[in-house]
Amino acid sequence: MTSLTLTRRLKARPSIVFDALTTPAGVAAWWGPDAGPVLLAEIDLRVGGRFRVRFRMLDGSEHESSGEYLEIVRPELLAMSWRWAGNEDPGESHLEFRLRPIAGGTELTLTHSRLHDEDTRRSHEQGWSGALDKLVRHFEGGRAGA
């Protein structure tokens, strides 16, 4: 299964983090990838309810994602399906936020799984050997685009 996991320690209690993930005002405050605005944040926070978020980036492009809430345990767990509008990434994936209280705040673990093109991506990833890792470093280094 192809997935992505990121963990962050946040200096805020879990209930505050949970509200930032699940209220339109909260989402609007942090969702934008750059200084571009969040244009729309619709949230129907109940299992089976849907969310829809649309934002504009500084390059002028607009992107929208939506999904259905699958599991809600405030302030510990939020799970939803995820899909981009348009054909940016056809197919549905799975997004999960887990919040754990720690001293001075919250440990947040984000898991984005069932990413589209899983089989293709898995086979490519397995095939991407050490040789390719070198290429990756090469292309991430200064000579990219040369």
Partner 1 sequence: MVNYQERLNRTFAALVDPTRRAILARLEREDEASVSELAEPFAIKLPAVMKHLDVLDEAGLITRSKQGRVVTVRLSPRPMKEAMDWLHRYERFWTERLDRLAAFVEREERKARKKEKPR
Inter-residue contact 82 to 65 (CB < 8 Å): yes
Q: For residue 136, state whether it binds partner 1 (rule: CB under 8 A).
A: yes
User: Please, what sign has the CA dihedral across residues 26, 30, 36, 40?
Assistant: negative
As a dihedral over the C-alpha atoms of residue 23, residue 3, residue 88, residue 96, rounded to 10 degrees, the angle is -10
Q: Which of residues 94-123 bind partner 1 (CB under 8 A)?
A: 105-106, 108, 110, 112, 115, 120-121, 123
State which of residues 12, 39, 40, 45 lies at the interface with partner 1 (CB under 8 A): 12
Q: How far is the CB of 120 from partner 1 (least distance, A)?
A: 7
State which of residues 6, 59, 86, 142 lies at the interface with partner 1 (CB under 8 A): 6
Burial (CB count within 10 angstroms: exposed 0-12, middle 13-18, buried 19+), residue 107: middle
State which of residues 22, 24, 26, 103 lies at the interface with partner 1 (CB under 8 A): 26
- 49 vs 120 by CB, closer to partner 1: 120
The interface region with partner 1, picked from 41-49, 67-75, 128-136 by CB under 8 A, is 128-136
**Distance in angstroms (rounded) separating the CA atoms of residues 63 and 69:** 20
Token look-up 């799984």 returns: 113
User: Closest by alpha carbon to 15, among 23, 7, 4, 24?
Assistant: 23
Residues that bind partner 1 (CB under 8 A): 4, 6, 8, 10-13, 16-17, 19-21, 26, 29-34, 87, 105-106, 108, 110, 112, 115, 120-121, 123-125, 127-129, 131-132, 134-136, 138-140, 143-146
